[in-house]
Amino acid sequence: MWTEWGWMWPALTASTLTAVALVPLGNRVLERGMVFADLAIAQWAALGILLVGTVLPAGGSALSLSGSLALALLAVTLVSLVLRYLTRHREAMIGLLYALGACLATLLVSQDPHGAQRLAHTLNGDLLWTTPTALGPMVLLALAVLVWQYVLPQSYRGWLFLPMFAIAITLTVDLAGIYVVFTSLIAAPLLLIHLRGTSIVFAILTCLAGHSLGLLISAWQDLPTGPTVVIAAMATCASVAVLARKPINRDAW
């Protein structure tokens, strides 16, 4: 059995680290009422990847991540300004920011013969084919988020949230794609923590179960990994939310 499925351990490890990193951040996104912001920031992180790949096609993964982080931080700055000065229209303004990033990405690759494939990769990712070398930064990210969530005082968590969020989005979009990142940020925190009162740890485990199911189905049936993981994660979180009729004490863990 191990020889048949053992090759999937990097993908399953990456899913574990993604769930650990994104579920606590997604919970904070919902608490702050800025759901659309994570999609906009993810889109701008993807735009950074495409920009570096177009301007410096031989730049390597480090340069690609640097470009992605730069544009993610730019998006974070713009979102911060919107949240501070345009509170009444924040969802509309953030929606426009997302649309701008998506259109710029489309125009950027429009003359590239492989542009459609590159654009699809930013949306769907390639989580199933994660390599062990990609796991190091994800381990550091997951540890940083755990420290942010469970060690730092509330005041520090507040002002560190957006920079931490930008870094998390940069690493996970490059690994898993926008769709998986958005679902990991929102599905488990919304359906379990906010609607059922479960703990963050319980939501992380449920998110991971959905990821794992999606990866196994994708490998078994040779289906696109990103959409399969998204549907499996949503179905798993929704099923667990239905079964968890009695709210679980979210402070238990």
pLDDT digits (tens, 9 = 90+) for 175-188: 999 999 999 999 99
- pLDDT greater at residue 103 or residue 56: 103
Q: How many domains does the chain have?
A: 1
Q: What confidence category does residue 247 fall into, taking pLDDT thresholds of 50, 70 and 90?
A: low
The verdict on residue 42 lying in a domain is yes
- What mean pLDDT is predicted for residues 98-124? 92
pLDDT (0 to 100) of residue 165? 93
Residue 1 lies in a domain: no
Domain assignment present for residue 121? The answer is yes
Whether residue 248 is contained in a domain is answered as no
Whether residue 94 is contained in a domain is answered as: yes
Give pLDDT tens digits for 32-50: 888 888 889 999 999 999 9
Classify 222 in phi/psi space as left (phi over 0), alpha (psi -120 to 50) or beta: left
The yes-or-no verdict on residue 82 having pLDDT over 80 is yes
Q: Is residue 7 part of a domain?
A: no
Judged against a pLDDT cut of 50, whether residue 2 lies above it is answered with: no
Structural domain containing residue 48: 15-243
Task: Classify residue 253: in a domain, yes or no.
Answer: no
Report CA-CA distances (Å) from 217 to 19, 188, 231, 232: 18, 20, 11, 9
Average pLDDT score over residue span 208-215: 97
Q: Is residue 211 part of a domain?
A: yes
